[in-house]
Each structure stands twice: as C-alpha cells, then as structure tokens.
C-alpha cells in the first residue's frame, strides 16, 4: 500500500510499504477513506519529538471502512463493513486509567513505556503515527491502517454524515472541546484562546457552545483571525498590538477569566528578542520547547482563573512564570485529549448542527500529495488552515 | 537533555571500544550505553567487549550459570496494580504454566505436582538453565512463594503478594525474586552486558503480566511487534507494517514461548 512516511527532519514522502496485518486478536484493519495532517504532525516534521525513525508512517487523524477484524474483536461493537472514525490515542478499555476515562493515559497500549517513563515519569497511551515514544504504531496517512483494540476506540458512523463532517472526531474537535471544557465555563466568562489553527478554532467554537460570554482569538495570520471572526469571536493580532493591553481593554481591565493555549511547543513571539531567546535555547537543546503562548496565557489570566493547555509539549521549558501561577491562584489544567469520552457526545452536537467541523478545511489533496500538504500547512501558504488527504 | 541522551548512543560500539581501551572498565556505565542497542550489533559488541575486558566468554557463561563461588545474591523487586480482584490475579499467577506467556525468559514451566514444577529459562549464548521449584507459601488471593530445590542450575527463590488496591482499583502485585548469581554485583553487571538488565526484565515481565490479565494478550505495535521489551525500545524497527517474512519470523519466535500467539 501507499503510506506517508517520515524520512528525517523536514522530509516526508509517500511510498510503497507492506500492507498492515493483524498482530493482536482485537485488531481491525481499516481501509482509510479520509485522513488529515495535524498541527502536532508538524512537531514531528520539524524534529521536536524524540524517537522518530526513518520509515515511520505518519498520521493520527483518520477514518474509513473496516475490512478485517481479529478473532478477539467483539463483533457487536465493530465488524467488517462498518464505517468508523478512529480516535488518535489507543486505549485498552480495561486498565484503571481507561476505567477513569483517561484514555490518553492508558496503562497498557504503549509497548515502549520505558522511553515514555524516562521522559514523562509515567508512561502514556500508544498513539498512531506519533513516534516510538508513544509506542511505534504505524499511522493513518496511508491506504490502510491496523487499529488495535478495535472494539474499544473506533466510533461507528451510521447516519449519512460525510467524511469531512466526522473525520475530526478523531482528534482536533475533541481536543479543542476538552480545552474549553477544562475551563469550566460560565455565562459570565471571557475566554481567550492562543492560536487560531484548527484546534484553536474548535476550542473557540466549543467555548461559545458551552456558553462563554465572549471568546477572543490571538494569532498573527490574518486569514486565521478571519476564520475566528467568522465564528463570532473577537480577534487580536499579536504582531500588530500588545496582547496584554488588548486583553485588558477587551475585559475591562480584569484579564480573561479562562485562557486556552492551543499553540504548544513551537510558539512564535511578537517581540523578536524574546522569540530569539527561545529559538536559540531550543536549537542548542538547552530547552526543548518555545513556550511563549503558555507564559503569556499565565500572565494574562485573571487571578483565580483557569489556564487550559491543549497545545502539545514534549519536554522541558524555561522561564515558567511560577510566581504568577502560584501567587494569583491560577489553576493549570491540561492533557492529551481523552478522545474516547468525547466522540459520541460531539457526534450528536454535529448531528444537531451546533458545531460545523468542516469550516476549518481549506485544502483537499490526494494522499500522493501529502508532502505538498505538509509544506503549505507548515509555511501557512495559500491561507492553509487544514489539509484533508484522500487515499 | 533527557531526550538527547535517549538518542545519544547512535554509535555505541565505537564508544564502547574507547572505554575499553581506556582500561577502566566500568561495566555499569557500559551497560547504559548498550541498553538501547539492537540485538545483532549488541552480541558483536558484547563479545568484543568481553574479550578486551579480560572476561572470556567461558567466564561469563560460568558466572551466569551459577557455578562460581558466589557471595551476595541478586535480589529483584517490582510492583504493579492490576484492575482485577486479588483472587483473579492470584489464580492467573498460580497456574504456573501461564508464566511463560508474560515472562520473556521463561521458556517453559512444567507443573509436576500441586507444589512442584520444573523451570526452563533462557540464558546468554543461547543456553538455558533449569531447575525444579517447590511452592513454599500458598495463600489463595494473598500470596505465593517458591524456592528452587537441591540441584538447581541457579538457586533462586521468589514471592508474590496480592493485596487490594485502595479505591476499587484492583490488586497491588508485589514481586521479590532472589537469584544466587555468583559475583553479586559483578555477576549482575556481566548479565547487563548482554542487555539483560535483570531489574528491567522483571519490570517488563510485570507490565506484560498486567497486559495479559487486563486485556488478554501482550500489546504489539509495528515498531515493537515483540511487545514490551526494555532493551528493544530504541532504535527499533520503523513504525510500518511487517513484511510477510518478518511476520513469519515473529510467529516462529512466539511459538517457542508457549501460550503466546499472533
């Protein structure tokens, strides 16, 4: 089959690889009908996630048709011919983390738990196409994918919703939604969201659905801010104005009640000397992240507020504003999304028309053109917000 | 950084040679450098290192076989929590012929009687060591203890306790195993030279035990089709499907460990 493989930093290609086979009795093989490039795939492309190997198949947002199931799969849950969306974390459904709906922290699905433990203290779940740190599972930017614990994760789509309406249930919609949910939003809340990429947009739309009084988008790309504005959100371009002053102005001097970091480890800064500081430290490997959005979110949040982090971090950061966090009683909440717990309720919201996931899609490309998709998404060319690949 | 250190041993064999030539052979440090080595490269490196360090293959073999004059035995402990009741977890362990499904180095446990079993365990250089063991403590749902009997290749004893975890989270499993490996720390370090950190091995075994009891089988990925094995975590095969040839190799390897299957 054809698959998008990682060859090295800034190098992916589409090549012929063996077809996936059943390795565990609860595996299914899915013929991928739609898959997408995620912002977190760019961290792999850019070489910021350790333990990638040449030949690794990329992709953790995918859906398709089940073409084979192992002997241990509960066929009442999933069977050949089903149309399914596959959640990006692999969860066993049986361990204590899964029983507590902490699917992305599943205790059993990462065969490389040792590497994860060295970096994170405790291991996290296996993730499709996301380095050997998360298990070394082949990803879904391919014609076929092997899906372990197929009777636990994949969500069957039985209605007539299109691929594009449900594909993002695999990751970015639940991730954005969880970012908003962690904010425990009330009708009086002003919610500021750093990053107007697809996850940021879904966090903003979710905050609105959850009843926020006002939602503010912070980014530097005019086309991304336009997309936020189309959703009825206020916007701040950090290259044009000082973010802190703008936030104070928009909140009567209080600061946002809730702040969401939908940027993660490769943030850019409006002030070039601070941007340079983190870039140099990151390049010299004396810090693994450029945590500018997180710092600014903590410093901007009103006292007693919540800072919700859904942007991806992988290692260690410098200049964490612990003083602001501690002295002003902020609550920091975070996590790789526990996708399983959000898929069904969000599918219902899509069916009811409360959320339109298709609004972030700007590019549709055949799988062959995946390298081109990575390039325009990374460089924000051609007003690229979200690339969907069709195998 | 940690990440950099993880990825840092790209050319461990060269690194090992310079250490050895330095005539200050810190076996433990060597082990660290070797731990992430792929299997084929590892045996070459180990053979070379052993020769240069003056530890001949025969010495190593003898040490691991347990025929030398030992002083301090090697004691290993590990624990995990399994989301099943103490009775269920105990029952799985008590069926001793289940053990090879999750203990990577145990080839076979033959149950001879209610209290007696015969163990066959792999050792470096494609050798195996064997012993008869007897159950010396058996409290269903609580604990299980065993000890090798007279004439074992390696004297050993072990105990597992099963205790309810707080908050309806199943069972805490605590394992302690003691091997009378001669040379104490040196013996352990020599074993480590083979990428066989015994502590890590026991830890791996317990993780696989948890996987098997909770989910029914050992979880396999494309990068790690053999499942959780500390010394094969990085580098490993790329995260893409196995070729037909690799798949049959894997099936053959697993067939030799009773009970495990693909």
Give me the domain span that covers residue A19: 2-171+337-390
- pLDDT tens digit sequence for B27-65: 333 333 334 444 444 444 443 333 333 333 434 444 444
Phi, psi of A387 (to 5 degrees): -105, 125
Tokens standing for A126? 């296996």
Nearest neighbour of A20 by CB, restricted to B223, B224, B241: B241
Interface membership of A316 toward B (CB under 8 Å): yes
For chain A, the domain total comes to: 2
Sign of the CA dihedral with A102 first, then A104, A108, and A112 last: negative
Chain A neighbors of B254, CB-CB under 8 A: none
Query: How many residues can be counted in chain B?
Result: 262
Residue B99 CB: number of other CB atoms within 10 A? 19
Cα–chain center distance at A166: 15
Q: Work out the pLDDT band at B191, boundaries 50, 70, 90.
A: low
Query: Which residue on chain B is closest to A114 by alpha carbon?
Result: B230
Fold category of B70-216 in CATH = Alpha-D-Glucose-1,6-Bisphosphate; Chain A, domain 4 (3.30.530)
Residue B67 has pLDDT above 70, yes or no: no
The answer to whether the Cβ–Cβ distance between B219 and A99 falls below 8 Å is no
Interface membership of B224 toward A (CB under 8 Å): yes
Q: What is the pLDDT along chain A (391 residues), one digit of tens a residue?
A: 999 999 999 999 999 999 999 999 999 999 999 999 999 999 999 998 889 999 999 999 999 999 999 999 999 999 999 999 999 999 999 999 999 999 999 999 999 998 888 889 999 999 999 999 999 999 999 999 999 999 999 999 999 999 999 999 999 999 999 999 999 999 999 999 999 999 999 999 999 999 999 999 999 999 999 999 999 999 999 999 999 999 999 999 999 999 999 999 887 776 666 677 777 777 776 666 778 999 999 999 999 999 999 999 988 888 899 999 999 999 999 999 999 999 999 999 999 999 999 999 999 999 999 999 999 999 999 999 999 999 9
- pLDDT tens digit sequence for B142-181: 999 999 999 988 899 999 999 999 999 999 999 999 988 7
Q: Please answer whether residues A217 and A200 qualify as being in contact, where contact means their C-beta atoms are separated by less than 8 angstroms.
A: yes
The complex's ipTM works out to 0.92
Q: What is the CATH number of the domain that holds A346?
A: 3.90.180.10
Interface membership of B249 toward A (CB under 8 Å): no
Q: Please answer whether residues A28 and A73 qualify as being in contact, where contact means their C-beta atoms are separated by less than 8 angstroms.
A: yes
SS3 A129: coil
Interface of A with B in 40-79 (CB under 8 A): 50-51, 53-57, 72
Q: Work out the pLDDT band at B68, boundaries 50, 70, 90.
A: very low
Q: Please answer whether residues B29 and B18 qualify as being in contact, where contact means their C-beta atoms are separated by less than 8 angstroms.
A: no
Q: What is the CATH number of the domain that holds A198?
A: 3.40.50.720
The answer to whether the Cβ–Cβ distance between A136 and B221 falls below 8 Å is yes
A41 and A95, same domain (yes or no): yes
The answer to whether the Cβ–Cβ distance between A94 and B222 falls below 8 Å is no
Q: Is the preceding peptide bond at B128 cis, omega within 30 degrees of 0?
A: no
Tokens 């196409």 map to which residue?
A129
Phi, psi of A250 (to 5 degrees): -75, -10
Please give the pLDDT value at position A267.
79
Residues 6+ apart with CB under 8 A from A246: A236
Interface membership of B251 toward A (CB under 8 Å): no
- pLDDT tens digit sequence for B2-25: 333 333 333 333 333 333 333 233
A163 and A291, same domain (yes or no): no
Q: Please answer whether residues A348 and A113 qualify as being in contact, where contact means their C-beta atoms are separated by less than 8 angstroms.
A: no
Nearest neighbour of A19 by CB, restricted to B3, B219, B241: B241
Q: Which of A4, A7, A23, A27 has the highest number of chain B CBs within 10 A, making it the mutation to test binding with B?
A: A23
Whole-model pTM: value is: 0.86
pLDDT above 70: percentage of residues in chain B: 62
A89 and A99, same domain (yes or no): yes
Of A316, A334, A352, the residue at which a domain comes to its end is A334
A72 and A184, same domain (yes or no): no
Listed in order, strand segments (DSSP E) in chain A are 2-8, 11-16, 28-37, 56-57, 61-69, 83-86, 89-90, 126-127, 144-147, 155-156, 190-194, 214-219, 234-237, 258-261, 306-309, 331-334, 363-366, 387-390
Nearest neighbour of B238 by CB, restricted to A23, A55, A111: A55
Tokens standing for A304? 């007693």
Please give the pLDDT value at position A272.
62
A186 and A272, same domain (yes or no): yes
| Angle of the B185-193 helix axis to the B198-215 helix axis, nearest 10 | 70
Q: Pairing between strand A387-390 and A363-366?
A: parallel
Tokens standing for A127? 């993730």
Chain B neighbors of A41, CB-CB under 8 A: none
Please give the pLDDT value at position B238.
95
A159 and A61, same domain (yes or no): yes
The answer to whether the Cβ–Cβ distance between B234 and A118 falls below 8 Å is no
Rounded distance, CA A381 to CA A2, Å?
Answer: 26
A223 and A321, same domain (yes or no): yes
- Closest by alpha carbon to A87, among A174, A158, A202? A174
Q: A194: distance to nearest CA of chain B, Å?
A: 27
Interface of B with A in 157-196 (CB under 8 A): 169-170
| Exposed/middle/buried for residue A379 (C-beta within 10 Å: 0-12, 13-18, 19+) | exposed
Rounded distance, CA A76 to CA A80, Å?
Answer: 11
Buried b (16+ CB within 10 A) or exposed e, B56-85: eeeebeebbbbeeebeebbebebebbbbbe
Cα–chain center distance at A374: 16
Tokens standing for A146? 């092997």
The answer to whether the Cβ–Cβ distance between A136 and B207 falls below 8 Å is no
Residue B24 CB: number of other CB atoms within 10 A? 8
| Exposed/middle/buried for residue A284 (C-beta within 10 Å: 0-12, 13-18, 19+) | exposed
Q: A361: distance to nearest CA of chain B, Å?
A: 28
The answer to whether the Cβ–Cβ distance between A135 and B170 falls below 8 Å is no
A167 and A193, same domain (yes or no): no
The answer to whether the Cβ–Cβ distance between B240 and A138 falls below 8 Å is yes
Q: Please answer whether residues A19 and B241 qualify as being in contact, where contact means their C-beta atoms are separated by less than 8 angstroms.
A: yes
CA angle A24, A29, A35 (to 5 degrees): 130
Nearest neighbour of B227 by CB, restricted to A96, A111, A315: A111
- Closest by alpha carbon to A179, among A41, A342, A380, A386? A342
The answer to whether the Cβ–Cβ distance between A26 and B215 falls below 8 Å is yes
| DSSP secondary structure code for residue A1 in this structure | -
Please give the pLDDT value at position B182.
59
Cα–chain center distance at A57: 18
Please give the pLDDT value at position B188.
66
Can you tell me the mean pLDDT for B75-88? 96
Rounded distance, CA B246 to CA A147, Å?
Answer: 19
Chain A neighbors of B223, CB-CB under 8 A: 53, 56, 111-112, 132, 135-137
A303 and A191, same domain (yes or no): yes
Query: Which residue on chain A is closest to B36 by alpha carbon?
Result: A115
SS3 A52: coil
Of A306, A334, A362, the residue at which a domain comes to its end is A334
Please give the pLDDT value at position B62.
44
**Host H or E run for residue A98:** helix A96-99
Interface membership of B1 toward A (CB under 8 Å): yes
The torsion region of residue A232 among left (phi > 0), alpha (psi -120 to 50) and beta comes to left
The answer to whether the Cβ–Cβ distance between A96 and B1 falls below 8 Å is no
Phi, psi of B115 (to 5 degrees): -120, -5
User: Where along chain B do its domains lie?
Assistant: 2-54, 70-216
Separation in Å, CA A96 to CA A92, A100, A114, B214? 10, 6, 19, 10
A41 and A149, same domain (yes or no): yes
Spatial strand order of the sheet with B143-148 comes to: B74-82, B171-179, B156-164, B143-148, B127-139, B116-123, B106-111
| Exposed/middle/buried for residue B95 (C-beta within 10 Å: 0-12, 13-18, 19+) | exposed
Nearest neighbour of B224 by CB, restricted to A136, A146, A286: A136
Interface membership of B79 toward A (CB under 8 Å): no
A20 and A161, same domain (yes or no): yes
A325 and A360, same domain (yes or no): no
Chain A neighbors of B214, CB-CB under 8 A: 92, 94-95, 108
| DSSP secondary structure code for residue B98 in this structure | G
- Closest by alpha carbon to A106, among A146, A149, A136? A149
Q: Which of B240, B259, B262 has the highest number of chain A CBs within 10 A, making it the mutation to test binding with A?
A: B240
SS3 A103: helix
Rounded distance, CA A249 to CA B252, Å?
Answer: 69
């Amino acid at each position: 089959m054809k698959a998008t493989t990682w060859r090295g930093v800034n190098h992916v290609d589409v090549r012929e690889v063996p077809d996936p086979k059943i390795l565990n009795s609860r595996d299914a093989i899915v013929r991928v009908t739609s898959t997408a490039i995620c912002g977190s795939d760019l961290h792999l492309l850019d070489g910021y996630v350790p333990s990638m190997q040449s030949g690794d198949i990329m992709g953790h947002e995918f859906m398709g048709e089940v073409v084979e199931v192992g002997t241990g799969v509960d066929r009442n849950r999933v069977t050949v011919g089903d149309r399914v969306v596959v959640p990006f974390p692999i969860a066993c459904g049986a361990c204590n983390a899964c029983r507590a709906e902490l699917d992305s922290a599943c205790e059993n699905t990462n065969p490389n738990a040792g590497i994860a433990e060295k970096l994170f203290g405790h291991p996290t779940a296996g993730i499709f196409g996301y380095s050997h740190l998360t298990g070394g599972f082949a990803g879904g930017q391919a014609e076929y994918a092997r899906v372990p614990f197929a009777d636990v994760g994949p969500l069957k789509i039985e209605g007539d919703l299109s691929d594009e309406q449900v594909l993002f249930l695999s990751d970015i919609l639940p991730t954005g939604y969880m970012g908003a949910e962690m904010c425990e939003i009330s009708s009086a809340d002003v919610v500021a969201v750093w990053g107007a990429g697809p996850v940021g947009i879904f966090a903003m739309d979710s905050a609105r659905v959850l009843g926020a009084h006002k939602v503010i988008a912070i980014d530097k790309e005019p086309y991304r801010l336009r997309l936020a504005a189309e959703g009825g959100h206020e916007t701040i371009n950090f290259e044009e104005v000082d973010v802190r002053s703008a936030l104070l102005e928009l909140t009567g001097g209080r600061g946002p009640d809730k702040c969401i970091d939908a940027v993660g480890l490769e943030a850019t800064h409006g002030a070039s000397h601070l941007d340079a500081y983190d870039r140099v430290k990151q390049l010299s490997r004396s810090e693994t992240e450029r945590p500018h959005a997180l710092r600014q979110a903590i410093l901007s949040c009103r006292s007693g507020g919540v800072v919700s982090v859904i942007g991806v971090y992988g290692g260690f950061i410098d200049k964490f504003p612990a003083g602001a966090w501690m002295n002003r009683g902020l609550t920091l909440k975070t996590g790789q999304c526990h996708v399983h717990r959000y898929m069904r309720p969000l599918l219902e919201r899509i069916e009811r028309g409360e959320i339109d996931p298709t609004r972030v899609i700007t590019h549709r490309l055949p799988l062959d053109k995946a390298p081109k998709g990575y390039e325009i998404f990374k460089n924000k060319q051609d007003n690229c917000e979200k690339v969907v690949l069709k195998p | 950084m940690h990440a950099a250190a993880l990825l840092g041993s790209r050319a461990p064999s060269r690194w090992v040679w310079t250490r050895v030539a330095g005539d200050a052979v810190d076996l433990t440090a060597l082990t660290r450098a070797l731990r992430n080595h792929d299997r084929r490269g590892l045996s070459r490196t180990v053979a070379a290192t052993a020769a240069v360090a003056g530890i001949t293959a025969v010495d190593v073999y003898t040490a691991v076989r347990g025929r030398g004059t030992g002083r301090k035995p090697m004691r290993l402990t590990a624990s995990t929590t399994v989301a099943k009741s103490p009775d269920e977890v105990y029952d799985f362990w008590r069926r001793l012929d289940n053990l090879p499904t999750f203990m990577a180095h145990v080839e076979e446990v033959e149950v001879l009687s209610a209290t007696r079993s015969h163990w066959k365990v792999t050792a470096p250089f494609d050798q195996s060591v064997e012993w008869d063991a007897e159950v010396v403590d058996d409290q269903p749902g609580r604990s299980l203890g065993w000890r090798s009997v007279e004439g074992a290749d390696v004297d050993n004893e072990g105990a597992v306790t099963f205790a309810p975890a707080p908050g309806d989270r199943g069972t805490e499993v605590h394992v302690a195993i003691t091997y009378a490996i001669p040379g104490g720390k040196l013996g352990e370090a020599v074993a480590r030279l083979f990428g066989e950190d015994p502590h890590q091995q026991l830890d791996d075994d317990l993780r696989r035990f948890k996987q098997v009891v909770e989910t029914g089988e050992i979880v396999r990925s494309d990068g790690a089709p053999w499942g959780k094995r500390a010394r094969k975590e990085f580098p490993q095969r790329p995260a893409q499907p196995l070729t037909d040839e690799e798949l049959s190799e894997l099936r053959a390897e697993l067939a030799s460990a009773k009970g495990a299957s693909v």
